[in-house]
Amino acid sequence: MAIPSLIDIALEDIIAALDAKSFTSVDLVAAYIARISEVNDEFHAVIEINPDAKSIARQLDEERSRNISRGPLHGIPLLIKDNVVTLDKMECTSGSLALVGARPCHEASVITRLRKAGVILLGKTNLSEWSNFRSEKSSSGWSPRGGQTYGAYLKNSQPSGSSSGSAVAVALGLTWAALGTETTGSIIGPAETNNVIGFKPTRGLISTDAVIPVSIRQDVIGTLTRTVKDAAHLLGGFAGRSEFDKFTWNIPFDTLPDYAAVCNGTNLQGFKIGVPRNAFMGMNIKPAALAAFELGLKILTDAGAQVVENTDFKATDDYKAMDKVSKLFAITTEFKTDIQAYLSSLDKNPNNIHNLDDLIAFTEGTPEERYPEFDIGRFHWTKAEGADLDAQKYKESLKQDLYFGGEGGILGAMEAHNLDLIVIPTVAEIPIAFAAKVGYPLITVPLGFYPEGTPVEMHKRGKMILYAPGIPYCITFISKAYSEETLLKVAHAFEQLTLTRKNGPQPYLTAKTEISDILRKSGRDLKI
């Protein structure tokens, strides 16, 4: 059995090697830590390594030696975004210095579930501070605690955000997979710019308790992986109901589907896939990405799917006419309430950050937070008139959000045309925003790379590259709530029919350490 490089290795490769005693989980953790140390000064993807990772791996190896298996994730290392609470020696800060040393009252249900499944928490990843809900003019992937994360495929390229470090770490093979979170686009965006699979499940399929919130109603924990099947495996390891998250009580089944089992074959006969062109045409989609998207539609058709045109969203023009503050008014109001609830629940709070006013004062008064270079405009949005859960303005904004995702958008198009999915270029912001507003699942699959001759464009902050030759782009599939099996089936088929990540270029700088190097240092040979 040939063992793939750690930049490509999939879960089933790791499981087979562990079962064959080719290497141990301790070896795997050591290899990942070595790889992180090689390249993290360049990319700033990982904010912290779990000091107990090797001892946890040793315990799980010992269980395996006694033929005890906790399931497919037994002994598998995983990186976690630094806004998901882990009650261990690691911090949970959302990238802010304000929460360094703080101690939440309980661990995220997702983390507890993953620990029981045998996952090794390898470390925490960098992110856009406060999940990009601090600044109106933020720098994607920057936090005062972790610095500036950079994209994997071009030096000095922006990584997108806010789950920046998770996507970059997966692209570089610093972990098998990583958890991210998404309120609107925060998994999908970094997945695209780093050529990996970004998967945001239905809101409520996975508990988001003990996650530093933007909007509890809209926040979702999802995954960054290198294959669709690995996303399916990971979903099976952490989905399910939690007593701490009322949204999970709506899961319509008692036994989770076998999500990995649907990642099989490339026949898409019987699937109807809609193309809502009025939600993305003429909206800064580069010619190369649009041409590749059109080719992607042909690939879907050739695989047996029925691709349906003229499935436009009724509410697109209404949404485009709104300003940014209005589009985000509902989650701004929820942030005001939800972040205060989180702060007030902390068991330890050494910086005495109890509410948004405390947070604003800390941010303005701490030089490392780089205020006013990075503004706090979104914090100030919470002070707008009507930004209260009992206010009529909030209720009207929430109703409008539900309309955009529902009858006026995704659900309306899907029901009118009897669709199984929607497909869009990943750069299309409106469908992704509409899906977020109603908690619908989506998945992004690599599609291509901008060609030679693509004009170089800089990020709005002016310091990082946004578009240039060699930067990746993706395709995104969206469906209704709890339609993950459909999404994964179609995304896996498309992935296998295109193999963009497998056959495309490597990141511009890669770590060199492999499992064989770890074994050699300990006087062992790789058993194949």
Q: Quick one: average pLDDT of 491-504?
A: 98
Active-site pick, 22, 25, 81, 229? 81
For 271-294, give one letter per residue: b (16+ CB within 10 A) or e.
Answer: bebbbbbbbbeeeebbebbeebbe
Which CA distances in Å does 472 have to 195, 288, 292, 309, 345? 6, 11, 11, 26, 41
Residue 525 pLDDT level (bands cut at 50, 70, 90): confident
* Distance, first Cα to last Cα, the chain: 5
Q: Where do we find the tokens 């530093």?
A: 212
Residues 143-193: tens digit of each pLDDT: 999 999 999 999 999 999 999 999 999 999 999 999 999 999 999 999 999
Candidates 525, 359, 511; CA nearest to 34 is: 511
List C-alpha distances in Å: 94 to 47, 260, 272, 276: 11, 31, 39, 35
Q: What is the pLDDT of residues 22-31, one digit of tens each?
A: 999 999 999 9
> pLDDT tens for residues 389-409?
999 999 999 999 999 999 999
Query: Is 81 annotated as catalytic?
Result: yes
Is residue 461 predicted with pLDDT exceeding 80? no
pLDDT of residue 230 exceeding 80, the answer is yes
Determine the Cα–Cα distance for residues 374 and 472; give it in Å rounded to an integer. Answer: 27
Q: What mean pLDDT do residues 364-386 have?
A: 97
Cα-Cα-Cα-Cα torsion 420, 426, 428, 431, nearest 10 degrees, comes to 30
The structural domains of the chain, with segments of one domain joined by +, span 11-521
Average pLDDT score over residue span 430-447: 99
CA distance 120 to 100: 23
Q: What is the mean pLDDT of residues 128-149?
A: 97
Statement: residue 528 has pLDDT above 60: no
CB 81 within 8 A of CB 111: no
How many whole angstroms separate alpha carbon 201 and alpha carbon 235?
8
CB atoms within 10 A of CB 508: 15
Instruction: Give me the half-sphere count of Cα atoms (radius 13 Å) on the Cβ side of residue 235.
Output: 35
State the average pLDDT over residues 420-442.
99
User: Angle CA(272)–CA(275)–CA(277) in degrees, nearest 5?
Assistant: 165
CA distance 528 to 93: 42
At residue 1, does pLDDT exceed 90? no
Three-state DSSP at 464 gives: coil
Residue of 513, 493, 528 whose CA lies nearest to 36: 513
Alpha-carbon separation of residue 91 from 51, 79, 125, 167 (angstroms)? 12, 13, 11, 20
Per-residue confidence (pLDDT) for residue 463, from 0 to 100: 87
Contact 444, 191 (CB under 8 A): yes
138, 143, 166, 186: which is the annotated catalytic residue? 186
Please report which confidence band the pLDDT of residue 3 belongs to, taking 50, 70 and 90 as the band edges. confident
3-state secondary structure of 374: coil
pLDDT of residue 2: 80
CA neighbor of 363 nearest in space, from 145, 141, 200: 145
- pLDDT per residue as tens digits for the range 313-350: 999 999 999 999 999 999 999 999 999 999 999 999 99
Mean pLDDT rounded to a whole number for the chain: 98
Single pTM value for the model: 0.98
Which helix (H) or strand (E) segment holds residue 501: the answer is: helix 500-503
Q: Cα separation of 286 and 468, whole Å?
A: 11
pLDDT at 527: 63
pLDDT in tens, 241-297: 999 999 999 999 999 999 999 999 999 999 999 999 999 998 889 999 999 999 999
Q: Which of 232, 165, 221 is closest to 197 using CA atoms? A: 232
Annotated catalytic residue: which of 94, 109, 140, 162?
Answer: 162
| Domain made up of 11-521: CATH architecture | Alpha-Beta Complex (3.90)
If you compute the radius of gyration of the chain from its CA atoms, what whole number of angstroms results? Answer: 22
